Structure 1
Amino acid sequence: MTIGAWLSFRGRIGRQSWWLAYLLPMIAVSAVVGAAYSTSVGMAAPGMSRSVGQQGLLVLSALLSLLSIWPMLVGAIKRMHDRNRSGWWIGAQTLLLGSLVLLTWQVDQRGRLHDPIVAAALIGAAAGVGVLSLWVFIEINVLRGTRGFNRFGPDPLVTPDMALWQQTAPDAWQQPGWPPQSPPGWKSPPPRQGCWNGSPPGRRD
C-alpha cells in the first residue's frame, strides 16, 4: 500500500489491512504521545515554567495527536466502504461524540451538571452515541466486507489474478468447437414410416 493510497478515502480495505496498517500504528503513536506528555508534565516542578525540552515534548505530542486523526478517519471510512456503507457514518459518529464532550464540558463549567433534567438529557445523548459507536466498532473491526464488487470498488480480499480467473474460468472450461455444429445445408432425416408412435401395435394371429 502506497502513502497516497494509505491517506486516500477512496476504495475498500479488509479487516487485516485495517488492523495492521491503521489501528496498530495509531495505537503505537498514541503510546508515544502519552509517554511524551507524561514526561513533559512530570519533569516540570510545581510553580516553575517548563524548559525548552519540556515544551518541545508537549508540541510533539500535540502534533502527533493531530496527525493521527486523518489516517484513523481514512481507515475507518474505508472499512465502512468495505461493508458497502457510507463513510458519513464515521463523520456522524465523530461529530456527535465531539459535540457531546463539548456540551458536557460547557454544562460543567456553568455548574449545571447536577441538574436532574440536564443530567438526564446528557445520559440519553451519551446512550445514543454509545449505541452508534458500538455499531460502528462492530462494522469496522469484526464483520467481513461484502463479497465481490460493491459501489465503492472491488473486494480487497480478491487479488487481480483471482478476479481475472473468476471472469474467464467459465469460458476457459468450454472446449473449443463444442457443441458441434451441423454442416451447412444439413437437415435431420424424416421419421420412418410404420414406426411405433406410442400406441400399442395390433395383434396378429
Structure 2
Amino acid sequence: MAEKPEPVRVLYCQMCGLPAEYCEFGPDFEKCKPWLIQNAPDLYPDLLKEANDKQAEKVANQLQAVGISSSGDGGGVREGQADSSGSNAASKPEEVKRLPGGKIKKKDKQEVVIEKIVRNKRKSITVVKGLDLFGVKLSDASKKLGKKFATGASIVKGPTEKEQIDVQGDISYDIVEFITETWREVPESAIFFIEDGRKVPAA
C-alpha cells in the first residue's frame, strides 16, 4: 500500500505575512531580514553571511577605536601614524575588506559597481551601487531601470548602510550601455562588475 504523502508545510514570515521564500519581493524586505536569519537561514544564506560580516566589522571597529585612543595625543591623525610607522598601514585595507559583496573602496572614489547575486539557485538579482556618487538620484534611477527592463527595482541599504538599487533578474548583459546612455555623467571606464569576488572593468 502506497504511503500517504505528507502535506506541504509553508513557513510564513511573521513580519510581512508572505511565505518566507517570497519575502524579498514583499513591501519591506529590510524588516523581514532579522526574522528570516533566525527562522529561515537556509532560504537566505546571503543574509546570514551579511549578519556575520556586520558583527565582524563591529568588533573590528571597536578594536580599532581602542587602538587609536590608546596611542596617546597623536591618536586623532591616522595618516600621520601611517607615515611614522608602517605597521599601521595594514589597517587601511580593512575599509575595502569589510564589504562582503560590492567591495567598493573609499567613499570618495567615483565608480559604479554591478553585481549579479543568485539566491536559492534560481532567483537572480542585479545590484547596482555608486550611481549616487555621480549625482544621479537613486529614486529616479530605480524607476528608469525597472521600466527599461520590465522588472522590479528598489532602493535598499547595502551591507555598509549605503543605498543601492536591487533589480530583479539578470540584466547585467546590457545595463552598462543603458547607464552610459541615460546618465552621460557616468563614463564607461568608471563601471565595474564583480565576478568571482573580483572587480572587473566593464570597458
TM-score scaled by length of structure 1: 0.31
Between Structure 1 and Structure 2, which shows a larger proportion of helix residues?
Answer: 1
State the structure with bigger RCO (CA 8 A, min sep 6), 1 or 2.
Answer: 1
Q: Which structure's CA Rg is the greater one?
A: 1
Between Structure 1 and Structure 2, which shows a larger proportion of strand residues?
Answer: 2
